[in-house]
């Protein structure tokens, strides 16, 4: 396991991932895994005549991309468990968009006598135009260096 222990996490710390460009393969793979073949993401002819004027990624692809990018920010912690999250969706994701995540450590709470402590982070998914596409507030159980502290 790599990354920082709970004791090393600093409230207020911020980090940003490199970019990742969304491809046709991303949409096809997500649809195959999830079974989500919604017409807005799978049918160009249908999507062209909607308010989106073309295909958009399924909204739940965003949290998947967001969580993957979070581990490329340089803010690596020893996560024992992902214990919850609250997502907000602000914009659509399209093939060709380049996304990155900005992370901000908001809080941490020691769970005395436990093997980890809770860390609350804000994850913002930003596109190439610096627009907020999705955001999440996530709760992570992060390993302590020493149990019982």
User: Phi first, then psi: what are they for 41, rounded to 5°?
Assistant: -110, -20
Is residue 19 very low, low, confident or very high in pLDDT (cuts 50, 70, 90)? very high
For 6-143, the fitting CATH number among 3.10.129.10, 1.10.510.10, 3.30.360.10, 2.30.30.240 is: 3.10.129.10
Is residue 146 very low, low, confident or very high in pLDDT (cuts 50, 70, 90)? confident
pTM greater than the 0.85 cutoff: yes
Q: What is the pLDDT of residues 31-40, one digit of tens each?
A: 999 999 999 9
The Cα 30–Cα 90 span in angstroms is 20
Q: What is the pLDDT of residues 62-109, one digit of tens each?
A: 999 998 898 888 778 899 999 999 999 999 999 999 999 999 999 999
The domain limits of the chain are 6-143
Paired tokens of 104 = 């901000």
pLDDT at position 149: 47
């Amino acid at each position: 396991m790599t990354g920082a222990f709970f004791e090393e996490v600093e409230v207020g710390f911020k980090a940003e991932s490199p970019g990742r460009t969304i491809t046709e393969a991303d949409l096809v793979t997500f649809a195959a895994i999830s079974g989500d073949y919604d017409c807005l993401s799978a049918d160009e002819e249908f999507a062209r005549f909607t308010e989106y004027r073309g295909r958009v990624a399924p909204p739940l692809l965003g949290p998947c991309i967001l969580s993957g990018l979070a581990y490329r920010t340089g803010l690596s912690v020893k996560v024992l468990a992902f214990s919850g999250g609250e997502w907000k969706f602000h914009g659509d994701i399209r093939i060709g968009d380049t996304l990155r995540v900005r992370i901000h450590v908001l809080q941490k709470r020691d769970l005395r006598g436990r093997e980890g402590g809770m860390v609350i982070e804000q994850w913002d998914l930003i596109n190439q135009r610096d627009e907020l596409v999705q955001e999440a507030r996530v709760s992570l159980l992060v390993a302590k260096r020493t149990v019982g502290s």
